[in-house]
A and B are shown apart, each in its own frame.
Chain A
Amino acid sequence: MAKITVDGVVYEVDPANNLLQECLSQGLDLPYFCWHPSLGSVGACRQCAVIQYRDAEDTQGTLVMSCMTPVTDGGIYSLAAEQASDFRADVIESLMTSHPHDCPVCEEGGECHLQDMTQMSGHNYRRFDKQKVTHRNQNLGPFINHEMNRCITCYRCVRFYDDYAGGTDLSAQASHHHTYFGRFEEGTLESEFSGNLVEVCPTGVFTDKPFSAQYTRKWDLQTAPSICNGCSVGCNITPGERYGTLRRVVNRYHNEINGYFLCDRGRFGAHYVNSESRLRSARDASGMSVSTTAIEERISEFTSEAVIGIGSPRASNEANFALRSFVGAENYFSGHSDAEHEALQVLIECLRDAAFHSPSVRQIEQADAILVLGEDVTNTAPRIALALRQSVRNEAKALAETSRIPNWQDAAVRELAQESLSPLAVFACGSTRLDDIATTKLNADQQTLIEASNALSERLAGRSPAYSQQTLGTTMQSVEATYTALMSAKKPLVICGTGAGAALMRCAANIARALSVSRSEVCDLVLLPKEDNSVGHALLTSKENTLSRALGRLANGEVKRAIVIENDLFERAPTALVKNALAAAELLVIDQIETPTQRYAALSIPSATFNECEVTKVNYEGRAQLSFQVGEGCDAAKPIERWLNVEGSAHSNSMIARCAAEASDFESLIDCLPDPLGRIAGLKVPRQSHRYSGRTAMHADRNVHEGKQPVDDNSVMSFSMEGMLTQKDSSVLASAWAPRWNSNQAISKFQAEINGELKQGHPGVHLIKRSLNGQAYEAENSVNKNLGDFEIRLVSHIFGSDTLSSHSPAIQKRLCDAYLALNKEDALELGLANGDFVSLGGAEDSIILPLIVRTQTPSGVALVYTGSSALGASINPHDLPESASLARVESEPSVHPTGLGLSNLVVNDAYSGAH
């Protein structure tokens, strides 16, 4: 630690950091623009100027940019000195010369960093009377508004979009007073992380387009801490609600998981809760609505004989647990497909295994050699892909260290490193969105991937692997390069996921185990499930209770009744199997959205969405997190546990407590609940800000009498502005606000230090204790296919491959049709070109898909994207054969085209040329 004096006060600070960061860590108000806690310093905006004194004798001092000034022990500085504060006021005055006075109609108004900094710097009167520079805006697609006139050229947008997130289609153009941040031509921003521009931009150049369409000021939004349900990462989010509808989602800082950034599926996908796909009222088989009393009677009757309960990876722990206790553990079945269920068993075994450690997203960023096996992380767990883009920069940071350049010197570190990257090996079938930063890429079919993985495990175990003749060259090179990288790294990491299948997950575990043994240390292993509560659901389900067993028991009449929660079985098992089973059963479905499964239901009942109830979910690490209710939405919807009316379901806290007490592995779930004693004077935490306006008039269109605020008995939070507003020491922080800091940058006031933990924050709890001393899995056998057949591999897309987010209107504008992809040579051999229709198998009822040529597809492999069920334009992935012969046909594709075509497809290897 170093001691510095700022305006006469002595502070203990970290000498590894710059002065601006340390001033903010100490809670001082020092204005800045171009610096960002995750992006480091470039010294571009000159806003954070302070005076630095040579020694105690020095009364004059020199003006320095605090973001570019390393902290030195014994340093003496002043923020308040007149020269410094005058300089800062002058800087902001010049930044503001072309800034429009449109705050009242600007979406950023009220949470604008530029507003805050202008206030703080004391510039309040415009002296510049010349013409302002104006720009033409671009249509940047369904997510982001563009209003360039508001730009103050801090360059944060391109530093995030290009440098941090690896985007290629946003750039700084022109120079000086007409600098422009935009695309080459109008069009959708392609990065999966474009939504972060909304929060990274210190003013209103980039704003949230879906939010604009139903705009509410920050202080008028009712908010609560919540967890994203877009994938298994469990990013922390703050949804905002007004008038009973979800308005937007913004990032909620969590130092171990999402930090400051979300992906676009998470940010824009949550709007499904307002969509027309919501199941808004209960109905029977004939579509007639059913009263709540009738539903409750029907449900209580259901216990009279054996009932099969099919759970769901997108339902909470409490909902799944309630169903399990309602039907009995022996009748509670997996809602995962059999393949996913099998893969999840591997995942859970590895979570119990003491040889492995499941790193948080922050820890992933620290890895310095990585193997990604078979998973296109950007499309299945996007936030982790963003983290991997930071981990490959560890090489740059190491280089900087040897040159004594501090890591926060962003531009200098990048300039020094040029193209140097830490090793990232991607072994995958086809191109992935991380290929541009991969130092080793093995692009091959399943058989070769398994071979390569086995060879790598052998190599790591000190044996010499056997390669088959045809793959010897490239495979051996990739394996050798990866071997060297993993063995010489300080923090190696292996990543795989259920998308790659159980076989490759076992391979990944073997590789990690071999690493762990040969290095005599615990090895970082990330296994990614597909959905937000896949792990929680799998932990509650017994290994034998697969979905196909449940469907079998229903189909043969062994059990006549079934309850399906938050699940569309047509995405989980072959169509014929599901139809047979459901047709034979009396089916009760509880779901948030309408699904094809409900066509077979005697009764369909609406359940509450993530923002309408307080629940816990378990992420890929086995970390359980609590998500609070944000507001009241659909009147008829209730949480599943309350519909089932199991013991303890009346209060979410008691339900969580019961789940913790009764379900094995869930003991520490109870620690997710905030300590009631931690509340100030026993007061609840308000969901509404102290500036929340218009409450008395909100429902005046229906009734002039102000209704009673809803009461939340379940929670430490209240639907009110009364109570103890979230303060620095609160454990329940939805929306960061501090005096003079109205923007999201206020978060620094709640961090123990910049980029550190939240003060008394709530990081969630790791449920699973590692105790097992597992064994290596049997070396995987290779897949069989007929000569001449194509191996069918599924691909995921960030928009479309997730059920709930695909119902969001903004996401729907980014979807594309189902397709089959081949490489150029295979397509040529079959006489196929872009847009042709291809039949799989050639039988009369075989699946027909439009073809797209993707140049990186391995030969002999057909990649299939099954389309989005939200548009009613998908094929059931479980109806696809493992391999098939392909032929050109004239007949229409199996999936009715949505009109979106493939124009929204963002891949690295689309081929536009003719043969």
Chain B
Amino acid sequence: MQQHVIASSSTNARLRARDLTAEEIAEIEHELTLYPTKQAVGLEALKIVQRHQGWVSDESMLAIADYLSVPVSELEGVATFFNLIFRRPVGDKVILFCDSVSCWIMGCDKVKKRLSEHLGIDYGETSAGGEYTLIPVPCLGDCDKAPVMMVGEKMHRNLSCESIDSLLPLSNAEGSK
């Protein structure tokens, strides 16, 4: 069990680190062997924790910072820089919907509207049952099949209002995490 030497930063902090799980620690330890310094593992550790927890809570942030001996504010800089590190809870399925130029030309606005109607949520929101989170992304690199969206590892291409109607509800196999 590692000791919690609070970096001076937490003497008057309200939040406390949670304990990382054994799996998380094992995966972070593996990453540590691949990088020259502990600090460099920050982003990988965030991804690992998100894979296990679904998102990265404040308590997880403190735990990672503690484990890697980096200031938590620096880690926050990394976490918030990347759109796909979730600092708020997300639904079981995270829909990454492309709103970039090719998809826009191909009418993604209409598709998005239909999707929002189905799910009852807009960009950045999570459905009431906690099933879906809808997030815009600038490009998924699949412009020739625009409009596109990605759920978990799976791409949905050549979207139209009709295809949205037949796609939903998404099967549980399409996990997002």
Residues of A in contact with B (beta carbons under 8 Å apart): 162, 168-175, 180, 183-185, 187-188, 190, 419, 824, 855, 902-913
CB nearest to A190 among chain B residues = B8
Q: Is the CB of B77 within 8 A of A171?
A: yes
Contact A183 B12 (CB under 8 A): no
Sample of 20 more A-B contacts, CB < 8 Å, known A172-B77, A188-B12, A912-B6: A168-B9, A168-B74, A169-B71, A171-B77, A173-B76, A173-B80, A174-B80, A184-B9, A184-B76, A185-B15, A824-B3, A855-B5, A903-B12, A905-B11, A906-B11, A907-B8, A910-B8, A911-B3, A911-B6, A912-B5
* A758, B76: Cα distance in complex, Å: 41
| A162 to B15 alpha-carbon distance, docked (Å) | 22
Query: Is the Cβ of A184 less than 8 Å from the Cβ of B61?
Result: yes
Q: Please give, as numbers and ranges, the residues of chain A lying within 8 Å of B73 by CB-CB distance.
A: 168-171, 183-184
Which residues of chain A are near B77, meaning CB under 8 Å? 171-173
- Known contacts: A173-B76, A173-B77, A913-B3. The answer to whether A168 contacts B71 by CB under 8 A is yes
B1 to chain A, nearest CB (A): 9
Docked complex Cα distance between A171 and B81 (Å): 11
User: Once the chains bind, are B74 and A171 in contact (CB under 8 Å)?
Assistant: yes
- B 1-34 binary contact with A (CB < 8 Å = 1; else 0): 0011111111111110000000000000000000
Contacts of B125 in A (CB 8 A): none
Q: How far is the CA of A183 from the CA of B71 in the complex (A)?
A: 10
- The residue in chain B whose Cβ has the minimal distance to the Cβ of A188 is B12
Q: CA of A904 to CA of B13 in the docked complex: distance in angstroms? A: 10
> Is B131's CB within 8 Å of the partner chain A?
no
Task: Assess whether B3 is in contact with A171, with CB atoms less than 8 Å apart.
Answer: no
- Given A162, A170, A185, A905, which contacts B14 in the complex, CB threshold below 8 Å? A185
Q: How far is the CA of A606 from the CA of B58 in the complex (A)?
A: 52
> Can you offer 24 A-B residue contacts whose CB atoms are under 8 A?
A169-B9, A169-B71, A169-B73, A170-B73, A173-B81, A174-B80, A174-B81, A175-B80, A175-B81, A184-B75, A185-B58, A187-B14, A188-B12, A190-B9, A855-B3, A902-B11, A905-B11, A908-B7, A909-B5, A910-B6, A910-B8, A910-B11, A911-B4, A912-B10
Sort A-B residue pairs by CB-CB distance and give the 8 closest, nearest first: A168-B71, A171-B73, A171-B77, A913-B4, A173-B80, A174-B80, A184-B73, A903-B12
CB proximity of A434 to chain B, nearest CB, Å: 13
A855 to B7, CA, bound (A): 12
- Looking at A162, A168, A172, A183, which has the most chain B CB atoms within 10 Å of its CB? A168
Name the B residues within 8 Å of A185 (CB-CB). Answer: 13-15, 58
A417 to chain B, nearest CB (A): 14
Residues of A within 8 A of B3 (CB): 824, 855, 911, 913
When distances are taken between beta carbons in the complex, the residues of chain B under 8 Å from A187 are 12-14
A912→B72 CA distance, assembly (Å): 17
Contact with A along B104-140 (1 / 0, CB 8 A): 0000000000000000000000000000000000000
Contact among A168, A173, A180, A911 for B5, CB-based, below 8 A? A911
> Which chain A residue has the least Cβ–Cβ distance from B82?
A175
Q: Which residues of A contact B14 (CB under 8 A)?
A: 185, 187
Answer whether A912 and B8 are a contact pair too, CB < 8 Å, given A184-B72, A185-B14: no
Give Cα A489 to B61, complex, Å.
Answer: 41
**CB nearest neighbor in B for A433:** B8
Interface bits B49-60 vs A (CB < 8 Å: 1, else 0): 000000000100
CB distance from A162 to the nearest CB of B (A): 8
Closest to B2 in A: A913
Contacting pair B76 A906 (CB below 8 A): no
Q: Which residue of A lies closest to B70 (CB)?
A: A168
B5–chain A nearest beta-carbon distance, Å = 6
What mask results when residues 66 to 89 of chain B are scored 1 for a CB within 8 Å of chain A, else 0?
000001111111001100000000
Q: Shortest distance in angstroms between A849's beta carbon and chain B's nearest beta carbon? A: 18
- Residues from chain A with Cβ under 8 Å of B71 in the complex: 168-169, 171
Complex CA distance for A911 and B75, rounded to whole angstroms: 22
Shortest C-beta distance, B24 to chain A (Å), equals 19
Q: Which residue of B lies closest to A904 (CB)?
A: B12
Chain B neighbourhood of A909, CB < 8 A:
5
CB-CB < 8 A to A175: which residues of B?
Answer: 80-81
A245 to B82, CA, bound (A): 49
B6 surroundings in chain A (CB, below 8 A): 910-912
> B14: nearest residue on chain A (CB-CB)?
A185
Tell me which residues across on chain A come within 8 A of B72, comparing CB atoms.
184
User: In the assembly, what is the distance between CA of A238 and CA of B4, in Å?
Assistant: 43
Contact between chains at A912 and B4 (CB < 8 Å): yes
Q: What residues of chain A lie closer than 8 Å to B4, measured between beta carbons?
A: 911-913
Of the listed residues A183, A184, A824, A912, the one surrounded by the most CB atoms of chain B closer than 10 A to its CB is A184
By a CB distance below 8 angstroms, the chain B residues around A171 are 71, 73-74, 76-77
Complex contacts, A190 vs chain B, CB 8 Å: 8-9
Interface residues of B in 35-63 (CB under 8 A from A): 37, 58, 61
Check A168 against B7 for contact (C-beta < 8 Å).
yes
CB distance from B115 to the nearest CB of A (A): 24
C-alpha gap A294/B49 in the complex (Å): 76
Which B residues are CB-close (under 8 A) to A172? 77
Contacts of B5 in A (CB 8 A): 855, 909-912
- CA A316 – CA B156 in complex, angstroms? 79
In the complex, A185 Cα to B62 Cα: how many Å?
11
A419 to B12 alpha-carbon distance, docked (Å): 29
Which residue of B is nearest A191, CB measured? B8
Query: What is the bound-complex CA distance between A541 and B33, given in angstroms?
Result: 63
Contacts of A911 in B (CB 8 A): 3-6
Q: Which residues of A contact B61 (CB under 8 A)?
A: 184
Which B-chain residue is minimally distant from A182 (CB atoms)?
A: B73
- Among B4, B9, B72: residue with most chain A CB under 10 A: B9
CA distance A168 to B77 in the complex (A): 12
User: For residue A183, which residues in chain B have a CB less than 8 angstroms away from its CB?
Assistant: 73
What is the bound-complex CA distance between A909 and B3, given in angstroms? 11
A381 and B164 alpha carbons, distance in the complex (Å): 67
Asked if B13 and A908 make an inter-chain contact with CB atoms under 8 angstroms apart, the answer reads: no
Q: Within 8 Å CB of B12, what residues of A?
A: 187-188, 903-904
Contacts of A419 in B (CB 8 A): 37
Chain A residues with CB under 8 A of B37: 419
Residues in B neighbouring A905, C-beta threshold 8 A: 11
CB contacts (< 8 Å) of B10 on chain A: these are: 912
Give A185 to B9 CA distance when docked, in angstroms.
10
**Nearest chain-A residue to B58 (Cβ)?**
A185
In whole angstroms, how far apart are the Cα atoms of A190 and B11 in the complex?
Answer: 10
* Residue from B3, B9, B73, B80 with most neighbouring chain A CB atoms (10 Å): B73
- Cβ contacts under 8 Å, A173 to chain B: 76-77, 80-81
A168 to B9, CA, bound (A): 8
Give the CA-CA distance A162 to B76 in the complex, in Å: 14
> In whole Å, how far is B58's beta carbon from the nearest beta carbon of chain A?
7
Q: Which residues of A contact B74 (CB under 8 A)?
A: 162, 168, 171
- How near does chain A come to B4, taking the closest CB pair, in angstroms? 4
Name the distance in Å between B155's Cβ and chain A's nearest Cβ. 25
User: Roughly how many angstroms separate A20 CA and B74 CA in the complex, as a whole number?
Assistant: 30
| Bound-state Cα–Cα, A419 to B37, Å | 10
In the complex the two chains form, is A908's CB within 8 Å of B8's CB?
yes
Residues in B whose Cβ lies below 8 Å from that of A180:
80
Which residue of the partner chain B has the closest CB to A911? Answer: B5
> How far, in Å, is A377 (CB) from chain B's closest CB?
16
CB proximity of B90 to chain A, nearest CB, Å: 17
**Minimum Cβ distance to chain B for residue A142 (Å):** 12
- The residues of B that contact A169 with a CB separation of less than 8 Å are 9, 71, 73
In the bound assembly, the distance between CA atoms of A130 and B88 in angstroms comes to: 28
* Choice from B8, B15, B80 contacting A906 with Cβ under 8 Å: B8
- Which of B6, B12, B61, B80: most chain A CB closer than 10 A? B12
Q: Kindly state the separation between the CA atoms of A173 and B71 in the bound complex, as whole angstroms.
A: 13
Instruction: Give the Cβ gap from A226 to chain B, nearest Cβ, in Å.
Output: 31
Give a binary string over B88-101; 1 marks a CB under 8 Å from any A CB, 0 the rest. Answer: 00000000000000
- How close is A702's CB to chain B, nearest CB, in angstroms? 44
Shortest distance from the beta carbon of B46 to any chain A beta carbon, whole Å: 14
Q: What is the chain B residue whose CB lies nearest that of A905?
A: B11
State A184–B14 Cα separation when bound (angstroms): 11
Chain A residues closer than 8 Å to B58, beta-carbon distance: 184-185
